[in-house]
Structure 1
Amino acid sequence: MKKFSYLIIFLLIVTTQSCGIYSFTGTTINPNVKTVQIDYFPNNAILVEPSLSQEFTIRFQDLFTTQTNLTSVKSGGDLQFEGEITGYKINPMTATADQTAAQNRLTITVNVRFYNNIVEEDNFERTFSHYYDFDANAQLTGSILDDAFNEILERITQDIFNASVAKW
Protein backbone atom coordinates (compact mmCIF):
# COMPACT_ATOMS: atom_id res chain seq x y z
CA MET A 1 0.00 0.00 0.00
CA LYS A 2 2.92 2.33 0.73
CA LYS A 3 4.27 1.87 -2.83
CA PHE A 4 0.86 2.78 -4.20
CA SER A 5 0.84 6.05 -2.22
CA TYR A 6 4.30 6.95 -3.50
CA LEU A 7 3.22 6.18 -7.05
CA ILE A 8 0.19 8.48 -6.78
CA ILE A 9 2.27 11.30 -5.28
CA PHE A 10 4.88 10.87 -8.01
CA LEU A 11 2.23 10.96 -10.76
CA LEU A 12 0.61 14.06 -9.28
CA ILE A 13 3.94 15.87 -9.15
CA VAL A 14 4.89 14.87 -12.69
CA THR A 15 1.53 15.83 -14.22
CA THR A 16 1.32 19.21 -12.51
CA GLN A 17 4.95 20.19 -13.02
CA SER A 18 5.71 18.79 -16.46
CA CYS A 19 3.96 21.56 -18.37
CA GLY A 20 5.83 24.38 -16.67
CA ILE A 21 3.86 27.56 -16.08
CA TYR A 22 0.24 26.92 -16.96
CA SER A 23 -3.12 28.38 -16.16
CA PHE A 24 -6.60 27.14 -16.89
CA THR A 25 -7.18 30.10 -19.24
CA GLY A 26 -4.43 28.76 -21.52
CA THR A 27 -1.99 31.58 -20.86
CA THR A 28 1.74 31.05 -20.50
CA ILE A 29 2.70 34.29 -18.81
CA ASN A 30 6.21 34.55 -17.42
CA PRO A 31 6.04 34.71 -13.59
CA ASN A 32 8.07 37.96 -13.67
CA VAL A 33 5.28 39.69 -15.61
CA LYS A 34 3.07 41.54 -13.12
CA THR A 35 1.50 44.44 -15.03
CA VAL A 36 -0.26 45.13 -18.33
CA GLN A 37 -0.66 48.46 -20.09
CA ILE A 38 -3.37 48.75 -22.72
CA ASP A 39 -3.35 52.14 -24.43
CA TYR A 40 -6.37 53.76 -26.06
CA PHE A 41 -6.90 52.50 -29.63
CA PRO A 42 -7.92 55.50 -31.79
CA ASN A 43 -10.15 54.97 -34.82
CA ASN A 44 -8.10 55.88 -37.88
CA ALA A 45 -10.44 54.13 -40.33
CA ILE A 46 -11.86 56.07 -43.26
CA LEU A 47 -15.41 55.37 -42.02
CA VAL A 48 -15.63 56.21 -38.29
CA GLU A 49 -18.13 54.77 -35.81
CA PRO A 50 -17.96 57.19 -32.84
CA SER A 51 -18.16 54.65 -30.00
CA LEU A 52 -15.86 52.00 -31.49
CA SER A 53 -12.51 53.16 -30.09
CA GLN A 54 -13.71 53.40 -26.53
CA GLU A 55 -15.70 50.17 -26.68
CA PHE A 56 -12.78 48.21 -28.16
CA THR A 57 -10.30 49.55 -25.60
CA ILE A 58 -12.59 48.80 -22.64
CA ARG A 59 -13.39 45.29 -23.85
CA PHE A 60 -9.71 44.54 -24.40
CA GLN A 61 -8.82 45.79 -20.90
CA ASP A 62 -11.70 43.77 -19.42
CA LEU A 63 -10.43 40.61 -21.11
CA PHE A 64 -7.08 40.93 -19.33
CA THR A 65 -8.78 41.75 -16.04
CA THR A 66 -10.97 38.64 -16.17
CA GLN A 67 -8.49 36.20 -17.74
CA THR A 68 -5.25 37.05 -15.90
CA ASN A 69 -3.99 38.19 -12.51
CA LEU A 70 -2.04 41.06 -14.06
CA THR A 71 -2.43 44.56 -12.65
CA SER A 72 -3.55 47.17 -15.17
CA VAL A 73 -1.33 50.27 -15.27
CA LYS A 74 -1.39 53.53 -17.28
CA SER A 75 2.33 53.44 -18.17
CA GLY A 76 5.42 51.29 -17.81
CA GLY A 77 3.62 47.93 -17.99
CA ASP A 78 5.54 44.68 -18.30
CA LEU A 79 3.21 43.92 -21.21
CA GLN A 80 2.23 46.86 -23.41
CA PHE A 81 -0.41 47.06 -26.11
CA GLU A 82 -0.85 49.98 -28.47
CA GLY A 83 -2.33 50.40 -31.89
CA GLU A 84 -5.22 51.75 -33.87
CA ILE A 85 -8.43 50.73 -35.58
CA THR A 86 -7.51 50.86 -39.25
CA GLY A 87 -10.61 49.50 -40.91
CA TYR A 88 -14.37 49.82 -40.51
CA LYS A 89 -16.15 48.95 -43.71
CA ILE A 90 -19.47 47.62 -44.93
CA ASN A 91 -19.53 45.60 -48.14
CA PRO A 92 -22.35 43.78 -49.96
CA MET A 93 -21.79 40.02 -49.77
CA THR A 94 -24.55 38.14 -51.57
CA ALA A 95 -26.85 39.20 -54.37
CA THR A 96 -30.48 38.47 -55.10
CA ALA A 97 -31.89 37.47 -58.51
CA ASP A 98 -32.52 41.12 -59.35
CA GLN A 99 -28.88 41.98 -58.59
CA THR A 100 -29.39 43.78 -55.30
CA ALA A 101 -27.54 42.97 -52.10
CA ALA A 102 -29.19 40.33 -49.91
CA GLN A 103 -26.57 40.49 -47.20
CA ASN A 104 -23.94 42.99 -46.07
CA ARG A 105 -20.74 42.41 -44.14
CA LEU A 106 -19.27 44.74 -41.50
CA THR A 107 -15.51 44.21 -41.15
CA ILE A 108 -13.37 45.78 -38.43
CA THR A 109 -9.57 45.71 -38.60
CA VAL A 110 -7.19 46.58 -35.77
CA ASN A 111 -3.42 47.06 -35.99
CA VAL A 112 -1.69 46.02 -32.72
CA ARG A 113 1.83 46.55 -31.44
CA PHE A 114 2.64 44.25 -28.52
CA TYR A 115 5.71 44.75 -26.34
CA ASN A 116 6.74 42.20 -23.73
CA ASN A 117 9.33 44.11 -21.69
CA ILE A 118 10.37 40.93 -19.85
CA VAL A 119 10.70 38.55 -22.84
CA GLU A 120 11.39 40.83 -25.80
CA GLU A 121 11.40 37.96 -28.32
CA ASP A 122 7.60 37.89 -27.92
CA ASN A 123 7.14 41.43 -29.32
CA PHE A 124 5.08 41.75 -32.50
CA GLU A 125 3.09 44.08 -34.72
CA ARG A 126 0.11 42.41 -36.39
CA THR A 127 -3.25 43.17 -37.90
CA PHE A 128 -6.36 41.45 -36.55
CA SER A 129 -9.70 41.47 -38.33
CA HIS A 130 -13.16 39.96 -38.07
CA TYR A 131 -16.57 40.44 -39.68
CA TYR A 132 -20.30 40.23 -39.06
CA ASP A 133 -22.91 39.52 -41.75
CA PHE A 134 -26.35 41.13 -41.58
CA ASP A 135 -29.42 41.48 -43.78
CA ALA A 136 -29.05 44.13 -46.48
CA ASN A 137 -32.49 45.53 -45.68
CA ALA A 138 -31.51 46.17 -42.05
CA GLN A 139 -29.92 49.36 -40.78
CA LEU A 140 -26.64 48.93 -38.90
CA THR A 141 -27.97 50.63 -35.76
CA GLY A 142 -29.38 49.63 -32.38
CA SER A 143 -29.43 45.92 -31.59
CA ILE A 144 -27.92 44.94 -34.97
CA LEU A 145 -24.91 47.19 -34.34
CA ASP A 146 -24.66 45.88 -30.75
CA ASP A 147 -24.72 42.27 -31.99
CA ALA A 148 -22.10 43.07 -34.62
CA PHE A 149 -19.81 44.76 -32.08
CA ASN A 150 -20.27 41.93 -29.58
CA GLU A 151 -19.24 39.26 -32.07
CA ILE A 152 -16.45 41.18 -33.80
CA LEU A 153 -14.82 42.70 -30.71
CA GLU A 154 -15.00 39.45 -28.77
CA ARG A 155 -13.23 37.62 -31.58
CA ILE A 156 -10.58 40.28 -32.22
CA THR A 157 -9.73 40.81 -28.53
CA GLN A 158 -9.54 37.04 -27.97
CA ASP A 159 -7.28 36.65 -31.03
CA ILE A 160 -4.94 39.37 -29.71
CA PHE A 161 -4.97 37.78 -26.26
CA ASN A 162 -4.15 34.37 -27.74
CA ALA A 163 -1.34 35.74 -29.92
CA SER A 164 0.28 37.65 -27.06
CA VAL A 165 -0.05 35.60 -23.86
CA ALA A 166 -1.44 32.23 -24.91
CA LYS A 167 1.05 31.88 -27.83
CA TRP A 168 -1.58 30.36 -30.15
Structure 2
Amino acid sequence: MPGRRRAVACLALALPGVLLSGCGIYSFNGTNIDPSVKTISIQTFQNTAPNAPAALSQRFTEDIKDYFQRNTTLKLVPRDGDLQFEGNIAAYDYAPAAIQQVGTVSQAGTNRLTIQVQLRFTNTKDSKQDFEQTFQSQADFAATQDIATVNNDLNAIRNITRNIISDMFNKSVANW
Protein backbone atom coordinates (compact mmCIF):
# COMPACT_ATOMS: atom_id res chain seq x y z
CA MET A 1 0.00 0.00 0.00
CA PRO A 2 2.77 2.56 0.72
CA GLY A 3 4.15 2.06 -2.82
CA ARG A 4 0.72 2.79 -4.27
CA ARG A 5 0.42 6.00 -2.22
CA ARG A 6 3.83 7.11 -3.48
CA ALA A 7 2.81 6.46 -7.10
CA VAL A 8 -0.40 8.46 -6.65
CA ALA A 9 1.56 11.32 -5.05
CA CYS A 10 4.05 11.34 -7.94
CA LEU A 11 1.22 11.37 -10.46
CA ALA A 12 -0.49 14.22 -8.61
CA LEU A 13 2.71 16.26 -8.78
CA ALA A 14 3.40 15.49 -12.45
CA LEU A 15 -0.13 15.91 -13.82
CA PRO A 16 -0.36 19.72 -13.53
CA GLY A 17 2.91 20.05 -15.46
CA VAL A 18 1.62 17.80 -18.23
CA LEU A 19 -1.68 19.67 -18.42
CA LEU A 20 -0.08 23.12 -18.44
CA SER A 21 2.56 22.26 -21.02
CA GLY A 22 -0.10 20.78 -23.30
CA CYS A 23 -1.67 24.15 -24.08
CA GLY A 24 1.56 25.42 -25.68
CA ILE A 25 1.27 28.99 -24.44
CA TYR A 26 2.92 28.90 -21.01
CA SER A 27 5.97 26.99 -19.90
CA PHE A 28 8.01 26.59 -16.77
CA ASN A 29 10.84 28.76 -18.14
CA GLY A 30 8.54 31.79 -18.18
CA THR A 31 7.89 32.12 -21.90
CA ASN A 32 4.58 33.27 -23.27
CA ILE A 33 4.77 32.14 -26.90
CA ASP A 34 1.65 31.75 -29.02
CA PRO A 35 1.34 28.15 -30.29
CA SER A 36 1.26 29.41 -33.90
CA VAL A 37 4.84 30.70 -33.51
CA LYS A 38 7.18 27.93 -34.61
CA THR A 39 10.37 29.56 -35.92
CA ILE A 40 12.89 32.22 -34.98
CA SER A 41 15.48 34.01 -37.10
CA ILE A 42 18.38 35.90 -35.57
CA GLN A 43 20.48 38.00 -37.92
CA THR A 44 24.10 38.78 -37.12
CA PHE A 45 24.27 41.72 -34.72
CA GLN A 46 26.63 44.11 -36.48
CA ASN A 47 29.29 45.81 -34.41
CA THR A 48 28.99 49.58 -34.83
CA ALA A 49 30.78 50.41 -31.56
CA PRO A 50 34.26 51.70 -32.44
CA ASN A 51 35.96 50.32 -29.32
CA ALA A 52 34.46 46.81 -29.30
CA PRO A 53 36.58 43.76 -30.04
CA ALA A 54 36.15 42.43 -33.57
CA ALA A 55 34.90 39.02 -32.41
CA LEU A 56 32.10 40.47 -30.24
CA SER A 57 29.56 40.59 -33.07
CA GLN A 58 29.83 36.89 -33.92
CA ARG A 59 30.10 35.78 -30.28
CA PHE A 60 27.05 37.81 -29.22
CA THR A 61 24.97 36.51 -32.14
CA GLU A 62 25.87 32.87 -31.42
CA ASP A 63 25.16 33.34 -27.70
CA ILE A 64 21.68 34.73 -28.35
CA LYS A 65 20.92 31.85 -30.74
CA ASP A 66 22.08 29.34 -28.13
CA TYR A 67 20.01 31.01 -25.41
CA PHE A 68 16.78 30.85 -27.43
CA GLN A 69 17.42 27.27 -28.52
CA ARG A 70 18.00 26.19 -24.90
CA ASN A 71 14.98 28.02 -23.52
CA THR A 72 12.32 27.58 -26.22
CA THR A 73 11.17 24.92 -28.66
CA LEU A 74 11.36 27.36 -31.58
CA LYS A 75 13.20 26.19 -34.68
CA LEU A 76 16.07 28.46 -35.70
CA VAL A 77 15.86 29.41 -39.39
CA PRO A 78 18.25 31.61 -41.41
CA ARG A 79 15.64 34.31 -42.19
CA ASP A 80 11.93 35.12 -42.19
CA GLY A 81 11.19 33.41 -38.87
CA ASP A 82 7.89 33.92 -37.08
CA LEU A 83 9.97 35.87 -34.54
CA GLN A 84 12.77 37.99 -36.03
CA PHE A 85 15.71 39.55 -34.23
CA GLU A 86 18.10 42.03 -35.79
CA GLY A 87 20.19 44.85 -34.47
CA ASN A 88 23.63 46.08 -33.66
CA ILE A 89 26.14 46.49 -30.88
CA ALA A 90 25.88 50.24 -30.48
CA ALA A 91 28.22 51.05 -27.62
CA TYR A 92 31.21 49.53 -25.89
CA ASP A 93 32.52 52.02 -23.37
CA TYR A 94 35.26 51.55 -20.80
CA ALA A 95 35.47 54.49 -18.43
CA PRO A 96 36.24 55.36 -14.81
CA ALA A 97 33.32 54.55 -12.52
CA ALA A 98 34.83 55.78 -9.26
CA ILE A 99 37.53 58.38 -8.78
CA GLN A 100 39.83 58.19 -5.80
CA GLN A 101 42.37 60.64 -4.51
CA VAL A 102 45.92 59.29 -4.20
CA GLY A 103 47.97 62.06 -2.64
CA THR A 104 47.34 65.05 -4.87
CA VAL A 105 46.39 62.97 -7.90
CA SER A 106 42.87 61.92 -8.84
CA GLN A 107 42.72 58.53 -10.51
CA ALA A 108 40.25 55.80 -11.36
CA GLY A 109 39.47 53.53 -8.43
CA THR A 110 37.21 51.36 -10.56
CA ASN A 111 36.57 51.17 -14.29
CA ARG A 112 33.23 50.21 -15.82
CA LEU A 113 32.59 48.45 -19.11
CA THR A 114 29.16 49.29 -20.53
CA ILE A 115 27.75 47.50 -23.56
CA GLN A 116 24.61 48.65 -25.39
CA VAL A 117 22.77 46.60 -28.00
CA GLN A 118 19.99 47.97 -30.18
CA LEU A 119 17.33 45.39 -31.04
CA ARG A 120 14.54 45.41 -33.59
CA PHE A 121 12.10 42.60 -32.76
CA THR A 122 9.37 41.54 -35.18
CA ASN A 123 6.60 39.08 -34.39
CA THR A 124 5.08 38.17 -37.76
CA LYS A 125 2.09 36.54 -36.03
CA ASP A 126 1.22 39.56 -33.85
CA SER A 127 2.59 42.95 -34.91
CA LYS A 128 1.41 44.50 -31.61
CA GLN A 129 4.38 42.71 -30.02
CA ASP A 130 6.96 44.35 -32.33
CA PHE A 131 9.42 46.75 -30.69
CA GLU A 132 12.74 48.52 -31.03
CA GLN A 133 14.74 49.01 -27.87
CA THR A 134 18.29 49.52 -26.63
CA PHE A 135 19.45 47.06 -23.96
CA GLN A 136 22.40 47.82 -21.72
CA SER A 137 24.48 46.10 -19.07
CA GLN A 138 27.78 46.81 -17.38
CA ALA A 139 30.40 45.44 -15.03
CA ASP A 140 33.06 47.06 -12.89
CA PHE A 141 36.74 46.16 -13.00
CA ALA A 142 39.74 47.02 -10.89
CA ALA A 143 41.57 50.16 -11.99
CA THR A 144 44.62 47.97 -12.63
CA GLN A 145 42.80 46.19 -15.50
CA ASP A 146 43.12 48.06 -18.77
CA ILE A 147 40.71 47.62 -21.67
CA ALA A 148 43.02 45.15 -23.46
CA THR A 149 42.99 42.88 -20.41
CA VAL A 150 39.20 43.05 -20.18
CA ASN A 151 38.80 42.42 -23.93
CA ASN A 152 40.84 39.23 -23.57
CA ASP A 153 38.71 38.01 -20.65
CA LEU A 154 35.91 36.22 -22.51
CA ASN A 155 34.02 35.43 -19.31
CA ALA A 156 33.93 39.07 -18.23
CA ILE A 157 32.40 40.21 -21.51
CA ARG A 158 30.08 37.19 -21.66
CA ASN A 159 28.68 37.99 -18.22
CA ILE A 160 27.69 41.43 -19.49
CA THR A 161 26.22 40.18 -22.77
CA ARG A 162 24.40 37.35 -20.95
CA ASN A 163 22.45 39.99 -19.00
CA ILE A 164 21.54 41.77 -22.23
CA ILE A 165 20.42 38.51 -23.87
CA SER A 166 18.33 37.62 -20.84
CA ASP A 167 16.63 41.04 -20.96
CA MET A 168 15.95 40.63 -24.70
CA PHE A 169 14.48 37.18 -24.09
CA ASN A 170 12.25 38.45 -21.29
CA LYS A 171 11.01 41.42 -23.32
CA SER A 172 10.33 39.42 -26.49
CA VAL A 173 8.93 36.06 -25.38
CA ALA A 174 8.28 36.32 -21.67
CA ASN A 175 6.46 39.67 -21.92
CA TRP A 176 8.13 41.05 -18.78
Same topology, TM > 0.5:
yes
Between the aligned partners of 1:29 and 1:134, the Cα distance in structure 2 is: 38
Match of 1:76 among 77, 80, 87: 80
Between the aligned partners of 2:51 and 2:70, the Cα distance in structure 1 is: 31
Q: Secondary structure at the match of 2:153?
A: helix
Between the aligned partners of 1:132 and 1:113, the Cα distance in structure 2 is: 24
- Give the counterpart letter for 1:37 in structure 2: S
Provide Cα deviations, 1:17-50, integer angstroms capped at 9, x if missing partner: 9x98210110000000000000000110132311
Matched, 1:46 2:50: yes
| Aligned CA distance change for structure 1 residues 68 and 160 (closer, same or farther; 3 Å) | same
| Aligned CA distance change for structure 1 residues 61 and 16 (closer, same or farther; 3 Å) | closer
1:5: which partner in 2? none
2:35: which partner in 1? 31
Q: Secondary structure at the match of 1:151?
A: helix
Q: Could you tell me whether the CA contact under 8 Å between 2:49 and 2:89 is conserved in 1?
A: yes
Matched, 1:115 2:115: no
Q: Percent identity?
A: 42
- Give the counterpart letter for 2:155 in structure 1: D
2:131: which partner in 1? 124
Between the aligned partners of 1:143 and 1:76, the Cα distance in structure 2 is: 33
| Aligned CA distance change for structure 1 residues 63 and 20 (closer, same or farther; 3 Å) | closer
Provide Cα deviations, 1:50-93, integer angstroms capped at 9, x if missing partner: 11101110000000110000000001100000000100011101
**Count of aligned positions:** 157
2:142: which partner in 1? 135
Q: What are structure 2's unaligned runs of at least 5 residues? A: 1-11
Q: What are structure 1's unaligned runs of at least 5 residues? A: 1-7
2:67: which partner in 1? 63
Between the aligned partners of 1:148 and 1:133, the Cα distance in structure 2 is: 10
Q: Secondary structure at the match of 1:21?
A: coil
When the two structures are superposed, what TM-score results if normalisation uses the length of structure 1?
0.86
Q: Secondary structure at the match of 2:128?
A: helix
| Aligned CA distance change for structure 1 residues 64 and 16 (closer, same or farther; 3 Å) | closer
Between the aligned partners of 2:70 and 2:24, the Cα distance in structure 1 is: 22
1:106: which partner in 2? 113
Q: Could you tell me whether the CA contact under 8 Å between 2:116 and 2:136 is conserved in 1?
A: yes
Between the aligned partners of 1:89 and 1:25, the Cα distance in structure 2 is: 32
Q: How many Å apart are 1:96 and its aligned residue?
A: 1.9
Q: Secondary structure at the match of 1:97?
A: strand
Matched, 1:156 2:160: no
